[in-house]
A and B are shown apart, each in its own frame.
Chain A
């Protein structure tokens, strides 16, 4: 069964600290993996996308990694800011003509001053 599992469910860190969010998937065939950020009361917004051939991609203080062999991705946040407090959702697109999206349940990150 195609699944996307995220860990931890929630995380509290102090401002300025780094953190890493995990996403493991069993989706096959695989097309791509995307991380979304969802601020409280807002819709999700795309942070970055990882395709099969990409190992690492950075977007400012956010760095995503992908290991297609072990079917794992991580989102690393450097020097966290209060504005990083949000839910982070991992979404995997399956291959083929349907290209169905499989959503993880998200990690809720709280950055405290």
Chain B
């Protein structure tokens, strides 16, 4: 069974801090994704990666960056945290489209991040 693990369930940081959210998957998936989920807005894609050291901007990349140094690990970085980045952050992984367009994304259980 696919397991996507996010390093923290809850995190509280201060405005201006640099914040790292970590995600690890154990199914050798090429694709990894970072979303944020806010009430009334649903899931919005921040960044995704198709392979090691590759990254693509999603719909709302401003204020975020990512790192993918190893296939199984995808990190989301808040360069200088702001209060409007308080949210639930979800990581997901999947097979590449070429090998399984009908395969689901597998999600972690999320990190609830509060910026004070």
Contacts and interface: CB of A to CB of B under 8 A. Distances in A.
A49 B102 contact: yes
A101 B42 CA distance: 13
Contacts of B108: 43
Contacts of B40: 105
A12 B92 CA distance: 29
A7 to B, nearest CB: 13
Nearest to A4: B42
A45 B110 CA distance: 12
Taking chain A's interface residues, is the majority helix, strand, or loop, or is none over half, making it mixed? strand
Interface in A28-64: 31-32, 34, 36, 41-46, 49, 51
Interface string B72-93: 0000000000000000001010
Chain B: interface residue count, which band? 10 to 19
Contacts of B47: none
B42 A89 contact: yes
Chain A: interface residue count, which band? 20 to 34
A99 interface: yes
Interface string B24-65: 000000000000000011111100000000000000000000
B42 A106 contact: yes
Nearest to A32: B102
B107 to A, nearest CB: 3
Given A42-B109, A42-B110, A43-B4, A32 B104 contact: no
Interface in A56-113: 89, 93, 97-99, 101, 103-106
B102 A45 contact: no
Contacts of B104: 34, 36, 46, 49
Given A44-B43, A106-B42, 11 more contacts: A32-B102, A36-B104, A43-B90, A43-B92, A44-B107, A46-B105, A49-B102, A51-B102, A98-B97, A99-B97, A105-B41
Interface of A: 31-32, 34, 36, 41-46, 49, 51, 89, 93, 97-99, 101, 103-106
Pairs of residues from A and B, 3 with the lowest C-beta to C-beta distance, nearest first? A43-B107, A105-B42, A46-B104
